[in-house]
Structure 1
Amino acid sequence: MSAHTKIAVLLSTYNGEKFLGEQLDSLLAQSHKNFILVVRDDGSLDRTVSILESYVRDHSERIRLLPSDGENMGASAGFAFLVDYVLKNKESMGLSSTYMMFCDQDDTWYPQKIEKLLEAMLATEADNDSAIPIIVHSDLEVVSEQNTVIAKSLISYQGLEIERNNFPNLVISNLVTGCTALINESLAEKALPIPENAIMHDWWLALVATAFGKLVYLDIPLVQYRQHGNNTIGAKEFTKVSVVSMSLWRRIQARKPNEHLIEVSIQAAEFYR
């Protein structure tokens, strides 16, 4: 059944000329061919749009480039716009059950990424009520600008405890990387509108999924996550700290919340409205 299931891949671009071609080529090389790439450019000043237009000319049946007035919405708002667009235009794109994946312009996908995530999604829906919100995500391989492997597993590299991916923990810290995620239509409908105070779209989607449905993790890397100076959110290596350092850190945190904690608190407040 999975081979006949059409999905939408969402891509928000911004000044991505350097690596965009590699990412688009990796999408076109997917083992699961039944997808449509929906792209909105976020006001690029380089050759990004011309690169997209060249791929549209060669693959018009597979890529839909949305018109843009040059407005820069930012990553989270840009992807939220795309989710809403797909829900409103799914029939014209040949989508029945609307499954969506998120694509970053500077990564590359393993050839079986769509296939593996979709199999997991369909199996999860078969074992549960298919109307519940579901997000499926995976690990990533971290690479340099030159595609040199930095870490085979981003989860291990960052010292993340993936078993803590429940709602109370996700309120404080996100464990879902958007470029690895596949969501179903129920989650998309439940999560919209994504609040302006949401830190990132993937974090908000993970919160909604764990609160009202299911979050599924595949312990395999399906994306080469490119680490470079222009990442919206980069991968930082986890290093163990001493007990003394941790004690000092807790005292500092107790005195004055940092900017990130304030943002987390605001996002949590939005969720409970």
Structure 2
Amino acid sequence: MPAPPPSRVTIAFCTFNGAEHLEDQLASYLAQTYENWDLWVSDDGSTDNTRAILHAFAQAHGHTRDIRIIDGPRKGVAANFLSLLCHPDFPRTPCALSDQDDVWLQDKLALGMAEIHGEQPCLYGAQSVHTISDLTSVGRSVGAAPLALKTISFGNALVQNVVSGHSSLLNLAALDLVREAGVPQDIQSHDWWLYLLMTGAGSRVVVSEREVLFYRQHSANAMGAHQGLRASMLRAMRVFGTTYGAWIASNTAALRRVDTLLTPQARDTLTALENAPKKFAALKRLGVLQRYGIARQNRFGTAILWLAVLLGRC
């Protein structure tokens, strides 16, 4: 008996004025060793040549694949991705998230699909080669590499994201979980939300040390940078500012609205963080962080977090 065909996977691709590098990314889809894919694109109001390039690609390859182009909500990147995944007609298949400036390595889909098997919800992420515009390498995403990971947990997810969205795949059960949670309001990043939701719901999260794509580094996507002393200092400065604390507050508020999806342990941790006094009782708040395992991935990051708590920043 011949082997069954490999599972269909839907690429969830979000665009906005990405014409400059768009054809490189589309070509890298066609070069995948895992060929059983479809493509859904949510364009968030591009005013350059993005839509024309997408329609030309759909016309050339839509006879063998389901290629859809829809209008995004025009509420930012996070809302664009999550509204695409929650679109009522989005296929109930495993899905792979994709950014417009990247170029996938040929085995990206194959490696990811091999990891997200089973009926338990699973989120997969991997590493990227950081490049400049012409794809000349300037490093890799070592900040989230498994060898550097202390733990993948809900406690970590409350204060840090370690799963890069552009490398992510979700199995069908994980996609169903995302759709049940819906599109949260006012969150900073869709990939951080996925990490929070999956760890909070007791799902399996896999972070591979393999590099699976080229990631063009520029000012518009600098949130994805991980490497080097400069990146570490920028993250530290962000924690000391007011923005980081606001992100955590937005994330916890979004989680509370879907807390029925969380495990009892995750709900207890969320409640403890929400109720921990922020002002005039920083030592009590630090005690909550320690008791519930709320920490960043390394000692330096956790020390910065604790100092920010002592200063009332988060």
Q: Using structure 2 for the length normalisation, give the TM-score.
A: 0.72
* 1:65 aligned residue: 68
Q: Is the 8 A contact 1:30 1:113 kept in 2?
A: yes
Question: Quick one: which amino acid aligns to residue 29 of structure 2?
Answer: L
Q: In structure 2, how many angstroms separate the alpha carbons of the residues matched to 1:134 and 1:8?
A: 15
> In the alignment, does 2:218 pair up with 1:235?
no
* 2:185 aligned residue: 196
Judged with a 3 Å threshold, the aligned counterparts in structure 2 of structure 1 residues 230 and 160 are, in CA distance, closer, same or farther, namely farther
Q: For residue 228 of structure 2, give the secondary structure of its aligned residue in structure 1.
A: coil
* Structure 1 position 73, deviation (Å): 2.8
Q: In structure 1, how many angstroms separate the alpha carbons of the residues matched to 2:7 and 2:196?
A: 26
Q: In structure 2, how many angstroms separate the alpha carbons of the residues matched to 1:225 and 1:200?
A: 17
* 1:221 aligned residue: 211
* Structure 1 position 75, deviation (Å): 1.1
* Structure 1 position 67, deviation (Å): 3.7
Judged with a 3 Å threshold, the aligned counterparts in structure 2 of structure 1 residues 159 and 229 are, in CA distance, closer, same or farther, namely farther
Q: In structure 1, how many angstroms separate the alpha carbons of the residues matched to 2:175 and 2:150?
A: 24
Q: For residue 231 of structure 1, give the secondary structure of its aligned residue in structure 2.
A: helix
* 1:16 aligned residue: 18
Higher relative contact order structure (alpha carbons within 8 Å, sequence separation ≥ 6): 1
* 1:262 aligned residue: 246
* Structure 1 position 238, deviation (Å): 3.1
Q: Is the 8 A contact 1:133 1:214 kept in 2?
A: yes
* Structure 1 position 154, deviation (Å): 0.6
* Further displaced range: 103-112 or 181-190: 181-190
* Structure 2, unaligned runs of 5 or more: 258-314
| Residue of structure 2 aligned with 1:162, choices 149, 173, 181 | 149
| Residue of structure 2 aligned with 1:39, choices 35, 38, 41 | 41
* Structure 1, unaligned runs of 5 or more: none
* Structure 1 position 234, deviation (Å): 4.1
Q: Is the 8 A contact 2:130 2:141 kept in 1?
A: yes
Structure number with greater Rg is 2
* Structure 1 position 143, deviation (Å): 0.8
Q: In structure 2, how many angstroms separate the alpha carbons of the residues matched to 1:240 and 1:160?
A: 21
Q: In structure 2, how many angstroms separate the alpha carbons of the residues matched to 1:11 and 1:56?
A: 13
> In the alignment, does 2:133 pair up with 1:145?
yes
Q: In structure 2, how many angstroms separate the alpha carbons of the residues matched to 1:72 and 1:121?
A: 31
Q: For residue 66 of structure 1, give the secondary structure of its aligned residue in structure 2.
A: strand
> In the alignment, does 2:255 pair up with 1:271?
yes
Q: For residue 215 of structure 1, give the secondary structure of its aligned residue in structure 2.
A: strand
Runs of 4+ in 1 over 6 A off after TM superposition: 157-160
Deviations along 1:111-142, whole A, 9 cap, x unmatched?
000001101112xx2xxxx1x32101111111
Deviations along 1:242-269, whole A, 9 cap, x unmatched?
xxx9xx98xx94xxx6122112122123
Judged with a 3 Å threshold, the aligned counterparts in structure 2 of structure 1 residues 171 and 156 are, in CA distance, closer, same or farther, namely closer
Q: In structure 1, how many angstroms separate the alpha carbons of the residues matched to 2:35 and 2:167?
A: 18
Q: In structure 2, how many angstroms separate the alpha carbons of the residues matched to 1:229 and 1:140?
A: 17
Q: Using structure 1 for the length normalisation, give the TM-score.
A: 0.82
Q: For residue 230 of structure 1, give the secondary structure of its aligned residue in structure 2.
A: helix
Q: Is the 8 A contact 1:194 1:201 kept in 2?
A: no
Q: Is the 8 A contact 1:157 1:238 kept in 2?
A: no
Q: Is the 8 A contact 2:122 2:204 kept in 1?
A: yes
Q: In structure 2, how many angstroms separate the alpha carbons of the residues matched to 1:29 and 1:38?
A: 17
Q: For residue 172 of structure 1, give the secondary structure of its aligned residue in structure 2.
A: coil
Q: In structure 2, how many angstroms separate the alpha carbons of the residues matched to 1:267 and 1:76?
A: 12
Q: In structure 1, how many angstroms separate the alpha carbons of the residues matched to 2:255 and 2:6?
A: 35
* Structure 1 position 232, deviation (Å): 6.4
Count of residues in correspondence between the two structures: 248
Q: In structure 2, how many angstroms separate the alpha carbons of the residues matched to 1:41 and 1:269?
A: 28
